[in-house]
Amino acid sequence: MLHFLKKNKDVICTGIELNEEKVAKCIEKGLTVLQGDINEEVLDYPDDAFDYVILSQTLQQIYEPGKLIRAILRIGRKGVVSFPNFSHWNVRLQLLTTGRAPLTKQLPYDWHNTPNIRVISIEDFRRFSRETGFSILREAAINTDHHENSGNIIKLFSNLRATYGVFLIGNDQ
Amino acid sequence: MSEYRARDKDRMSVGVVEKKSLTFARPPMEMALENGYTLGPVTLAYETYGKLNPDKSNVILILHALSGDAHAAGYYHEDDAKPGWWETMVGPGKGIDTHKYFVVCSNILGSCSGSTGPGSINPNTAKPFGLDFPVVTIGDMVAAQKALIDHLGIKKILSVVGGSVGGLQALEWCLKFPDMVVSAIPLATTPKHSALSIAFNEVARQAIMVDPHWNKGHYYDGAKPDLGLAVARMIGHITYLSDESMRQKFGRRLQDRNDFSFNFDGDFQVESYLRYQGAKFVERFDANSFLYITKAADYFDITRQYGSGSLVKAFSRARAKFLVVSFTSDWLYPTYQSKAMVKAMKKNGLDISFCEIKADWGHDAFLLASERLTTLIAGFLERVCNETKK
């Protein structure tokens, strides 16, 4: 994603990744990437160091999501947060019919090996924004196709139909 | 750093190279040192590989570690068994690709490998300096290298690259001459020597100074303090390895015997290894140079020199893009020291990439052939090279 942004949008960008091999792959491709824990790395930057801070498919793996969201809105003017929607109809149906933790393309792990320690739905995130005290500036609910190369934006019943939620967030005015 | 000089299996090499030298700061234009003294004339040994492009924008400056020299790559003649100390990294198609870049490797002030140091002739007495040689700093070494770079007509360096004490020089370059350095790759290094590093260096220096042949540094016309220098080198080698690498490399295996000898000849392989390294080192290194260079490394502290005690303030001078690399088992300059630099660089909004490479080989890992390190350096250099063309 960083590579896409740098190549196509000509942005100046920095990535944070924990895994040495992934860090090395990014640096080899010519990206600026720091190896470290996102929860700690965000603390070092000065206020408003970035225009945008993107948490791509990361929030569901964070132990203290409120703290991290506040940190990214301190170091960036705006944030972009995306996560797999846990209230998609397929997830609900699986839980209802099989009585087991659901497995989908977006959430492919078993309960005991998933890195996704938080289950978030689009509706949960809206509620979370009010409780934590940040604004949702724009939101897009996306339903990906089978190959997951592209998706459609969903307007109606998004919490039920979308596989992913993408939010543009900012500080409360 | 130790002596890993492997001939490249693919025989990709810069080939036969020549050691050159530059003499400058001739009296009365002597070089002013950080301690207030002046020194001149000053000679620096250096080597270059690859071709300087017309706009002189493809320069890589390699800075060597404590016991290194200007001979980073290639061979001195066709039958030379031993290539330069970073043959695995520097050459055509390698991590630092001599097809693309003009590579300069400069020896350091205080060394004994062709540059002015305590073993050089003091022009005032016509005898070797010994301890009359002024105590030089990493800053002085870099100031001398700047004279070399000026002499080569180079205004901007695409990247300064160095590991260990070479990394100290790389950091010094970024802060002393920030507008000349486009990017820097400090490997397995530190913004200041820790008590642990100073302690090891001090024990090594003491080993030299208690050798009766040391004679307060005046030994150049008689027996040399070889035993002291060998012990100093043995201590160094322990710090370059790690618990894990020693366990793998030697364990408790015995050398050339099946049982304990019940004397002090040296039973274990690790003893034999250290003795061999010590004995080999004295053939090529001057004990006084060892004292001066370790002292310079101990004095090195960019927070003090450039930041009034603050590492963040020190890096506020820097303009370079950084690739910082540390190694998991390095206990001489552990990762937390690299991370402290990275943190300070981030606070200054610098373009900084950082990778901690998992390696069992301790501090020496930066010198060993590593696919990971090679591709990291190659990718980073290619990016900074492309970005300067924009």
Range A121-142 average pLDDT: 94
What's the one-letter identity of residue A21? E
> ipTM for the complex?
0.88
What is the C-alpha to C-alpha distance for residues B289 and B45, in angstroms, rounded to an integer?
15
Distance from CA of A1 to the nearest CA of B (A): 17
Number of H helices, E strands in chain B: 11, 14
In B, what residues contact A, Cβ < 8 A?
A: 321, 323, 339, 342-343, 346-347, 349, 351-358, 372, 375-376, 378-380, 382-383, 386
Which pLDDT belongs to residue A8?
78
| pLDDT < 50 regions, chain B | 1, 9
Which pLDDT belongs to residue B204?
98
Could you give the angle at which helices A122-132 and A65-75 cross, rounded to 10 degrees?
70
Question: In this model, does residue A33 exceed pLDDT 70?
Answer: yes
Kind and range of the H or E element at A33? strand A33-35
Which pLDDT belongs to residue B14?
94
Structure tokens at B207: 């080993």
pLDDT tens for each residue of B218-241: 999 999 999 999 999 999 999 999
Query: Beta strand A76-84 with A50-56: parallel, antiparallel or unpaired?
Result: parallel
Share of chain A above pLDDT 90, in %: 73
pLDDT tens for each residue of A56-96: 999 999 999 999 999 999 999 999 999 999 999 999 999 99
Instruction: Answer yes or no: are the C-beta atoms of B382 and A31 closer than 8 Å.
Output: no
Which of B131, B273, B135, B294 is closest to B203 using CA atoms?
B294
Which pLDDT belongs to residue A53?
96
Distance from CA of B384 to the nearest CA of A (A): 8
Which pLDDT belongs to residue B10?
56
Residue B190: count of CB within 10 angstroms of its CB: 27
Interface residue of A18, A25, A44 to substitute, partner B, most B CBs within 10 Å: A44
Considering the entire predicted model, what is its pTM?
A: 0.93
